Amino acid sequence: MGAHAMSNEFKKNLIEDAAQAAVLVVGAGIMGAGIAQVAAQAGHPVSLYDVRPGAAQDALTKLQTSLAALVAKGKMPADAVADLLARITPVADLQDAARSTLVVEAIVENTEAKRALWQQLEAIVGADCVLASNTSSISITAMAQGLRHPERLVGMHFFNPVPLMKLVEVVSGLHTAPQVADGVFALAQRWGKVAVHARSTPGFIVNRIARPYYAEALALLHERSTTPVVLDACLKAIGFRMGPCELMDLIGHDTNFAVTQSVYQANFFDKRYMPSLLQRELVDGGLLGRKSGRGMYDYAEGAAKPQLAAPQTAEFPARSGVQLHGNSARMDAWGQLLAAAGVAFSRDLQSDWTGLATPTLQLRQTDGRPASSLGANVAVFDMAFAPEGSRVLAWAPSVRASAACADEAQAWLGALGYQAQQVADQPALVVARTVAMLINEAADAVQQGVCTMDGANQAMKLGVNYPAGPFDWLAAWSAHGVIAVLQALDTYYAGERYRVSPWLRQQAWGQLGGA
Ligand code: NAD
């Protein structure tokens, strides 16, 4: 079978006429059941198979119940649900689905089991049938080994819950025919999803680029720089729906640790992806998160919920002698607040730092360098990415700052309307550090041809609900700014974790302009 012939066949059967294109879903667990639902909703006759007898029928019964609830709430018409359900047939034998045009596999996450399934299926389905795996971590290239037609195997990575999550990563291994990947891409769109092409590399797009969201939080906690509730609040302040600690508690530390380890191992133990001892301890202690009743937070009934430092309604510490540094929307907003409060100030728009100066304090937006490396009367505060979602803001005084100086910094931030949270004085505080690392990881993924910039943005927004894509943040910041933060981290920690992506360096050179 030539890839081109397959592509035409595939396009004709699967994309243009769903009713004529039978889909086989193998594995009737949480993902398989969702994939069967989405395929049936798009009009395909669907066979559902599971190695455990009765599992496919059980999944269909569960689906009936959940869709009946949607009908009762008026969210889906009863006849559409009846049609959808009638299109799904549990099968007890793979032979019963020999005429399938597409197989989507969602069985146990094990290379040998998946290879064995594909080899078994190749003897059953026709030569023009496309084979798609929903694996979240196994190499598509490795999985194709032993197939007679490895060019028809592709990754079709859905996100949980499948009917609700819009993203599908279409993953190509070395053997995958481009026409097959393009066909599955078009099909996913027909199923109402947003498809993004990815090259088969560890973690694909989402599970790779998301690593620093957890890793930087774990590193900060490991160093006892701050607490989970502060970390979560700081990141929610820039629009994340969940902070990293509550999200890890929801995913389960066992699952998250397993993914971290698999990405670390698959990258030949690159320190960038090194798991945290803290994670290991939580897993070893059975503190798996919500599902075990305790992780970073305690979910027991009546357990005290940790609180943030309360908002401070401070007076402006001075009425004159104030200078605002830098030319940014945030400094414009601060200027308006000062003016409204009748505080006399001047502006230095050409300054090489951003923030506020008085005769006794420099209150500087982080450029990566800790306050302690900048002087005694210095405090740093975190970056914001417009629009500021909440007023929670991390800040840190120099270790040499007097108590009066630290109090002054806290009072300015309070008077400017922030719920300021003091953290340890390490490079780039919380938000700047995390976002710089997310951008750096995405930059490497683009450099290595894993995905495009747009693909990375879409994947992170739709696969894990990020408030913006990594390259949206980069556009609001600058390659120079991100590099400065990464270099400050690298100087402070020394190691491979914070090495700058070559792609970012090239961007920064490109922005220099001139000769
Ligand atoms: P699950 O445990 O809920 O379901 C797996 C099902 O496959 C089970 O019903 C099991 O009986 C069946 N099965 C196992 N081996 C089989 C075989 N050889 N032939 C037929 N059926 C077999 O797992 P899940 O969460 O639905 O995950 C399935 C796949 O989807 C995995 O590859 C996983 O990595 C991937 N995935 C999971 C998620 C998620 O959030 N759960 C997200 C994306 C991708």
Q: What is the pLDDT of residues 109-122, one digit of tens each?
A: 999 999 999 999 99
Say yes or no: CB of residue 92 within 6 Å of ligand 1: no
CA distance 430 to 417: 19
Q: Are residues 18 and 157 in the same domain?
A: yes
What are 335's two structure tokens? 């200027």
Q: How confident is the model at residue 77 (pLDDT cuts 50, 70, 90)?
A: very high
Q: Are residues 215 and 288 in the same domain?
A: yes
Say yes or no: CB of residue 28 within 6 Å of ligand 1: yes
Pocket probe for ligand 1: among 108, 165, 207, 262, the residue whose CB has the most ligand atoms within 8 Å is 108
Nearest residue CA, atom 23 of ligand 1?
29
pLDDT of 509 strictly over 50:
yes
Q: How confident is the model at residue 20 (pLDDT cuts 50, 70, 90)?
A: confident
Say yes or no: CB of residue 394 within 6 Å of ligand 1: no
Q: Identify which of 417, 309, 423 has the alpha carbon closest to the alpha carbon of residue 366.
A: 423
Q: What angle do CA 6, 7, 9 make, to 5 degrees?
A: 65
Q: What is the mean pLDDT of residues 65-94?
A: 96
Quote the pLDDT of residue 354: 97
pLDDT of 8 strictly over 80:
no
Backbone angles phi, psi at 381, to 5 degrees: -130, 165
Count, residues in the chain: 515
**Does residue 420 lie within any of the structural domains?**
no
CA distance 47 to 60: 11
The number of C-alpha atoms within 13 Å of 421 and in the hemisphere containing its C-beta is: 25
**Does residue 247 lie within any of the structural domains?**
yes
**Does residue 110 lie within any of the structural domains?**
yes
**Does residue 411 lie within any of the structural domains?**
no
Q: Are residues 213 and 276 in the same domain?
A: yes
Pocket probe for ligand 1: among 120, 136, 157, the residue whose CB has the most ligand atoms within 8 Å is 136
> What are the distances in angstroms from CA 268 to CA 202, 263, 280, 309?
11, 9, 19, 42
pLDDT of 169 strictly over 80:
yes
Q: What is the mean pLDDT of residues 166-173?
A: 98
Nearest residue CA, atom 28 of ligand 1?
106
Which CATH number fits the domain that encloses residue 218?
A: 1.10.1040.50
Q: Are residues 37 and 176 in the same domain?
A: yes
pLDDT of 7 strictly over 60:
no
Q: What is the pLDDT of residues 423-476, one digit of tens each?
A: 999 999 999 999 999 999 999 999 999 999 999 999 999 999 999 999 999 999
Q: What is the CA radius of gyration of the chain?
A: 26
The number of C-alpha atoms within 13 Å of 192 and in the hemisphere containing its C-beta is: 12
Q: Give me ligand 1 centre to Cα 116, in Å.
A: 15
Q: Are residues 149 and 256 in the same domain?
A: no
Domain that holds residue 15: 3-200
Which CATH number fits the domain that encloses residue 181?
A: 3.40.50.720
Atom of ligand 1 minimally distant from the CA of 28? 9
CA distance 233 to 451: 31
Pocket probe for ligand 1: among 24, 25, 31, 143, the residue whose CB has the most ligand atoms within 8 Å is 31
Q: What is the mean pLDDT of residues 300-319?
A: 87
Distant-in-sequence contacts of 136-139, Cβ < 8 A, 24+ apart = 136/109, 136/204, 136/207, 136/259, 137/109, 137/202, 137/203, 137/207, 137/259, 137/262, 137/263, 137/266, 138/109, 138/111, 138/114, 139/173, 139/200, 139/202, 139/266
Q: What is the mean pLDDT of residues 62-75?
A: 96
Quote the pLDDT of residue 514: 42
Q: Give me ligand 1 centre to Cα 443, in Å.
A: 31
Q: What is the mean pLDDT of residues 247-272?
A: 94
The full DSSP string for 273-284 is GPPPHHHHHHHH
The number of C-alpha atoms within 13 Å of 279 and in the hemisphere containing its C-beta is: 25
**Does residue 115 lie within any of the structural domains?**
yes
Give me the number of domains the chain comprises.
2
Nearest residue CA, atom 29 of ligand 1?
106
Say yes or no: CB of residue 51 within 6 Å of ligand 1: yes
pLDDT of 3 strictly over 80:
no
Q: Are residues 120 and 231 in the same domain?
A: no
Q: What is the pLDDT of residues 178-218, one digit of tens each?
A: 999 999 999 999 999 999 999 999 999 999 999 999 999 99
DSSP letter at 14 equals: I
What are 345's two structure tokens? 């100030």
**Does residue 311 lie within any of the structural domains?**
no
Are 354 and 478 a contacting pair, CB within 8 Å? no
Quote the pLDDT of residue 272: 94
Q: Give me ligand 1 centre to Cα 457, in Å.
A: 27
**Does residue 33 lie within any of the structural domains?**
yes
Q: Are residues 215 and 177 in the same domain?
A: no
Q: What is the mean pLDDT of residues 480-495?
A: 97
Q: What is the pLDDT of residues 344-400, one digit of tens each?
A: 999 999 999 999 999 999 999 999 999 999 999 999 999 998 665 678 999 999 999
Q: Are residues 127 and 268 in the same domain?
A: no
Quote the pLDDT of residue 511: 79
Q: Identify which of 158, 136, 137, 139 has the alpha carbon closest to the alpha carbon of residue 150.
A: 139
Q: Give me ligand 1 centre to Cα 115, in Å.
A: 14
Quote the pLDDT of residue 1: 47
Are 414 and 221 a contacting pair, CB within 8 Å? no
The overall average pLDDT reported for the chain is 94
Active site residues: 157
Quote the pLDDT of residue 309: 80
pLDDT of 515 strictly over 50:
no
Nearest residue CA, atom 39 of ligand 1?
160
Q: Identify which of 489, 476, 388, 466 has the alpha carbon closest to the alpha carbon of residue 210.
A: 466
Residue after which a domain boundary falls, among 135, 167, 200 = 200
